[in-house]
Structure 1
């Protein structure tokens, strides 16, 4: 499915050089975006990260925000390499060290890192193979041809290209769910380690666990950006056969990188102040100085495999319940059964669905839907208790609240993401998605539709719950069920 997008996809390309006297600088660029002084100033430090000299080739993913009346996140990817100075056919006067280090950069309006990466790597290696950096014709050709070649890959699968949920789960095992729960709590999460590409792709893989979030990162580059939340409203109808309609009704994607939050896969020292001034973030660093910041709630050290909880309360709130652990045991087993150390991507090739990235996205989608439904159900129970009424025969299970960790639910309700989500979702969400770790109601709806039942008579099926809620609660849910439109009425 093509992702809707207006305007150019490729905003510019650049060549960044590491000058031993003045630091990294932009040596060559194409695209009007480089007229922005702030972007031109910070880009070199993003494109050539700390420790780039440790590898022959590495990739860095990062985000920028241009100065504009309607600013939106720009997605950057760089490929850096180095060459021995003595191997150059043409040597500039400022080449005084034994190696020359440069990075080719692409700036895009969507995070199409996977499709860009392969082309970027080929171009960078070809440029270095020339051994002559005075000839930039290959970069000019790259700029003029890249837009057209990427357009056909602006799809959901194209955006997922380059991420690996299999690798994420294989590496972090049960702790993958801890990462997701911490992310949904909008905590301050930092990844640390080398190589930079792995640092960045782990974060992007984590982001893809939240349905629809990867396609909606326009606000993620800067804490003040919050345009998406302002444009959201509560759906007035539901088409259960339409995945977009279902997602909107459930309130997905969550607005995790909206108001007072940001996501920076690689954060240089020059952006350190962003950590101190922002309530929530997800970022990566290769510099131990950055990891020493007291604002960090959770530090994931990729080199040691250690999760360091700087906020003890987060360790408890994002901790796994027995139901969580059982659920993750099954997920980890499914991934490891098809894992091949010699070729980790083997099962992702489409040969086997179980344990694949698509399979994992589906499973975590179900988990998140169940968790959100449980949040609504806990609100429902609390309102009933406050009214002095115990409601029986509803569609929820009170024990399900414990399955997701009561502390996690209460902490989630304190986030900006919850505030937005609560505003745009129906209080009776749990009547459609069952509040448990294996949500079956959506699957059941799909089964009935496939059998030819086109109209969901939800008012009739859910009458006991509706009658109870209407007697005891006067505020809250809109009468959503009257607005459900059957697919055949389209």
Structure 2
């Protein structure tokens, strides 16, 4: 049986608002256009907020499953706008200068990347007809997709389809070292908003981020949708998570023993019933021999690449979330979120900013020297492949995912072993906070037979060198206050080193300043040259 459920067209009517005007197979619900109750929010999710301001967009979203309560299904919507004067056949109710519609595909499994290119081609063909009464192209698309995607496909095929055209390279190019910071942020189960005017940029960034976690995109999102909650009855959901890590540490489920007392910090890791109790309730039952996917988006923790404004109040009641939105009201509600990732389009370039709103979270997310080396290692391979005329494996999307998988394996092995020499390599505040999350405790409650082959410790734990200054500055320059921090750091670094080693200090300062202007020397050759210069003195 095919995982493809429906091909749907959602349009914007100037009087009735967003509505379903076509579906194959035909919807059999009691709502307008046969819309079932479970999919009541489909129209608002399929059309982006502020549709009149957009010519086109692609939105990734999710909906509750109609056949498996508690699970979700996955949708991708291709939005287009056309001038009504261009229509060959113009319906009487089209009274405005433009027509806005989205063509959607809804699937049982996450085929976001695999469906995107095909859906864009069909949507373009549908609009080029200039007659929306001609639906043969839509019927043919459903038949083709139904034959093309088979529920009995191997897991390898499903993985390939889920990841197709989801570029992790772009994620690192956009965020540089902060891509690793976002990766660690997801592990902490906080409330994160990705906000901008373009739903496709937001969605692809979020999917790329999640795809770096082993098995998470293809197997770990079936219980992740905020749409599983009823926006009319938010009082029945769990209480919102607190803003600080200290109070979040001791969020323990005592439903099996009402008289239990809160464990002390030093006891929390040895009380297996804490993790095993959550493990019994956790809906993800299929994991690999390393315990992946992690249960990051389960039990009132949500991942939605796009939410409409009707879900804004629901987010105050969830335990954690990573969500995307294009409505400016989301960004204005900063009290809801711990971190806001903003995309700003100036017409030629999309700029991104990571704004940490919760006190002390900056400290938890601070990348260690070892982290910066690792992120730079990935960046240099990505940039080298982008410059190369032939695309090889090193620096490509699958290569990056393999590196991130190895990083996560080292992290979980280090956190479990709790070696004093290894934990600080990933950041002691971060590891301490992560150990108190639900996903870590669920993972710790099980035995993972292949983890014994993973040695604790960071792969990039070499001795501190001059090149680490370059990395620290490269990380700072792309921060919220990048330029001013770098200038201050360059001056301070030069003075401090100059006070210690004389003439060499000014030389290093000049090298750092020149690097900041062009970053031409920030490569392995630059590292070797800088270290050689220091060795001479």
Shorter-chain TM range is 0.7 to 0.9
Q: Does 1:322 align with 2:369?
A: yes
Partner residue of 2:98? 99
Distance in 2, Cα, partners of 1:228 & 1:181 = 26
Q: Does 1:286 align with 2:316?
A: no
Partner residue of 1:460? none
Distance in 2, Cα, partners of 1:21 & 1:60 = 24
Q: Deviations over 1:342-369 (max 9, x none)?
A: xxxx88xx83111111110111111100
For residue 273 of structure 1, report the CA deviation from its aligned partner.
2.4
Aligned partners of 2:64 and 2:227 also within 8 Å: no
Aligned partners of 1:224 and 1:259 also within 8 Å: no
Partner residue of 1:18? 12
- Structure 1 residues 69, 34: closer, same or farther in 2, change over 3 A? same
Q: Does 1:29 align with 2:20?
A: no
- Structure 1 residues 399, 170: closer, same or farther in 2, change over 3 A? same
For residue 285 of structure 1, report the CA deviation from its aligned partner.
0.9
Partner residue of 2:430? 408
Q: SS of the residue aligned with 1:181?
A: helix
- Structure 1 residues 74, 209: closer, same or farther in 2, change over 3 A? same
Distance in 1, Cα, partners of 2:124 & 2:185 = 39
Alignment equivalent of 1:438, drawn from 431, 454, 459? 459
Distance in 2, Cα, partners of 1:34 & 1:259 = 30
For residue 127 of structure 1, report the CA deviation from its aligned partner.
1.1
Distance in 1, Cα, partners of 2:200 & 2:28 = 24
Q: Does 1:331 align with 2:378?
A: yes
Aligned partners of 1:46 and 1:267 also within 8 Å: yes
Which deviates more, 208-217 or 138-147? 138-147
**TM alignment of 1:158-307, pairs within 5 A:** 158-216=161-219, 217-222=221-226, 230=282, 248-293=288-333, 294-303=335-344, 304-307=351-354
Aligned partners of 1:223 and 1:278 also within 8 Å: no
Gaps in structure 1 of 5+ consecutive residues: 1-6, 234-243, 341-345, 379-396, 441-490
Aligned partners of 1:82 and 1:99 also within 8 Å: yes
**TM alignment of 1:335-484, pairs within 5 A:** 335-340=382-387, 351-378=391-418, 398-425=420-447, 431-438=452-459
- Structure 1 residues 429, 147: closer, same or farther in 2, change over 3 A? closer
For residue 48 of structure 1, report the CA deviation from its aligned partner.
0.6
For residue 196 of structure 1, report the CA deviation from its aligned partner.
1.1
Q: SS of the residue aligned with 1:398?
A: coil
- Structure 1 residues 377, 430: closer, same or farther in 2, change over 3 A? farther
- Structure 1 residues 251, 62: closer, same or farther in 2, change over 3 A? same
Partner residue of 1:132? 131
Partner residue of 1:57? 56
Q: SS of the residue aligned with 2:216?
A: coil
Distance in 2, Cα, partners of 1:370 & 1:45 = 42
Aligned partners of 1:229 and 1:420 also within 8 Å: no
Distance in 2, Cα, partners of 1:227 & 1:65 = 23
For residue 398 of structure 1, report the CA deviation from its aligned partner.
2.9
- Structure 1 residues 228, 198: closer, same or farther in 2, change over 3 A? farther
- Structure 1 residues 320, 229: closer, same or farther in 2, change over 3 A? farther
Figure out how many residues of one structure are paired with residues of the other and give that number.
396
Aligned partners of 2:168 and 2:208 also within 8 Å: yes
Q: SS of the residue aligned with 2:456?
A: coil
Distance in 1, Cα, partners of 2:402 & 2:175 = 19
For residue 253 of structure 1, report the CA deviation from its aligned partner.
1.2
Distance in 1, Cα, partners of 2:322 & 2:283 = 24
Q: TM-score, normalised by structure 1?
A: 0.76
Aligned partners of 1:223 and 1:258 also within 8 Å: no
Distance in 2, Cα, partners of 1:75 & 1:260 = 18
Distance in 1, Cα, partners of 2:281 & 2:292 = 12
Distance in 1, Cα, partners of 2:203 & 2:459 = 30
Distance in 2, Cα, partners of 1:193 & 1:29 = 30
Partner residue of 2:357? 310
Q: SS of the residue aligned with 1:305?
A: strand
Q: SS of the residue aligned with 1:283?
A: strand
Gaps in structure 2 of 5+ consecutive residues: 30-34, 230-277, 345-350, 462-537
For residue 425 of structure 1, report the CA deviation from its aligned partner.
3.0
- Structure 1 residues 223, 120: closer, same or farther in 2, change over 3 A? closer
Aligned partners of 2:2 and 2:147 also within 8 Å: no
Aligned partners of 2:158 and 2:218 also within 8 Å: no
Partner residue of 2:121? 122
Distance in 1, Cα, partners of 2:41 & 2:452 = 49
